[in-house]
Amino acid sequence: MTAPTTSGAGRAAPGWSPEDITAIRTLRALGRSVELHFTGRRQALDLLEIAVVAQEHVLLLGPPGTGKTDLVSRFAAGLGTRPFVRLLTRFTEPAELFGPMDVAAFREGRIETRTEGMLPKASIAFLDEVFQAGSPILNTLLTVMNERLFHDGPGPVELPLITLIGAANALPRDPSLLAFADRFLLRLHIAPVADSRLEDLLAGHFAPPAGDPAGDQQWLTEKALRRLGGQVDRVDLSPAAAAYHALIRDLLGQGVTLSDRRIVRGTRLVAAAALRDERVRAEPRDLWPLRHFWSDPVHETVVAETVGRYAGAADLQEAAVEEQPSWQLIAEAQQLVHRLGPAPTAAATEATLRALNVLRLRLERRHPRDEAACAELSTIITTTLEFLPR
């Protein structure tokens, strides 16, 4: 699909409304804003963006202390909601997640749960050590995650849940937990920051205090996010169908374990990747999220390598970023500045300038001959500099 040649905020990919385009760009800008506070977590933010658009669930695997809770909380805050967060143990009671019994209703002969402020009212939930919970909780979560239903009183109640994010040290070995684990369509190992990036990890802690461009402010309304979830069904998957079919057959032929549920739901990940890139027609390169829909960890590498062959990139997520057209980078820069408002603080301005510099470097590296775009981004940066006190 050929990108429009017009300049400035009026750029929009054909097929999506201006409202959709604004929501997509705001979501990406939020991800880049949150990324400023974390080292080596771009991949996790990519998956979180895909997950909330596709309305699928994510499992983050790795040791404690890698910033999983803080990452999810910052990201969710930008979506206008605070996630429901709980650390689960084998002693956790169902009431701690779903709410206590409504005593007043019980006295009137009704069995109901007081769900205000609990998981059934949450749009985004984060459950740490998710596989430690007992059977009563896990059985209820199966219905919550797969059908978005909570059985309360005389009948099921529809839930507003967009995505549930689980965290654990590793996948369970207990066969009884495999059906529950399969509900997490996307999986990612979160490793401690490598020694080679130690300076990056500590840099922000030895620098002067700076603003938090994400903070607790709302970047994207829940209504806009839910609209994007509905637009996933409008993406034309036919151009990527042959590649998807061949990929699945190849993976199964290599002995990779994929349930029918994962194979079918995987198509939503492809559609969400195209929508996130502002396209109405999916392409083989949109297969990249499938690198993370493996079931058994022993197949993680073979799935990543095989998806890479079909999507045509050795490092698909980095390729997705690097292949952004110049007009899209300019649009993201404009979105970052728009979030500052008319009278930003010096700290917020400095944080935004750092994010703009990341976009500038990317633009110069990937589109060095697009002098008009480079000049436009320079103007945006110069204008933003005017917000700093003299």
Instruction: Give the pLDDT of residue 345.
Output: 81
Cβ neighbours of residue 110 under 8 Å, at least 6 residues apart?
A: 102, 153, 154
Instruction: Give the pLDDT of residue 105.
Output: 64
Instruction: Give the pLDDT of residue 291.
Output: 94
Alpha-carbon gap, residue 164 to 119, rounded angstroms:
10
Q: Any idea where the domains of the chain sit in the sequence?
A: 13-190, 238-322, 326-385
CATH of span 13-190: 3.40.50.300
Instruction: Give the pLDDT of residue 73.
Output: 87
Instruction: Give the pLDDT of residue 193.
Output: 60
Instruction: Give the pLDDT of residue 270.
Output: 97
Instruction: Give the pLDDT of residue 32.
Output: 86
Cβ neighbours of residue 279 under 8 Å, at least 6 residues apart?
A: 1, 13, 15, 235, 286
* pTM score: 0.73
- Cα 69 → chain centroid: 14
Instruction: Give the pLDDT of residue 14.
Output: 55
Cβ neighbours of residue 209 under 8 Å, at least 6 residues apart?
A: 347
Cβ neighbours of residue 149 under 8 Å, at least 6 residues apart?
A: 143, 156, 157, 158, 159
Alpha-carbon gap, residue 362 to 84, rounded angstroms:
35
CB 53 within 8 A of CB 229: yes
- Cα 23 → chain centroid: 14
Taking only the tens of pLDDT, the chain with its 390 residues reads 333 333 333 334 458 999 999 999 999 989 888 888 786 788 899 999 999 999 999 999 988 877 788 888 889 888 878 889 999 999 999 999 998 877 676 666 677 778 889 999 999 999 999 999 999 899 999 999 999 999 876 778 899 999 999 999 888 888 888 888 999 999 998 876 654 444 444 444 443 444 444 445 568 888 899 999 999 999 999 999 999 999 999 999 999 989 999 999 999 999 999 999 999 999 999 999 999 999 888 888 889 989 999 987 534 444 444 456 788 788 878 877 887 778 788 877 877 887 788 788 878 878 888 888 899 989 999 888 888 877
What is the β-pairing status of strands 58-61 and 163-168? parallel
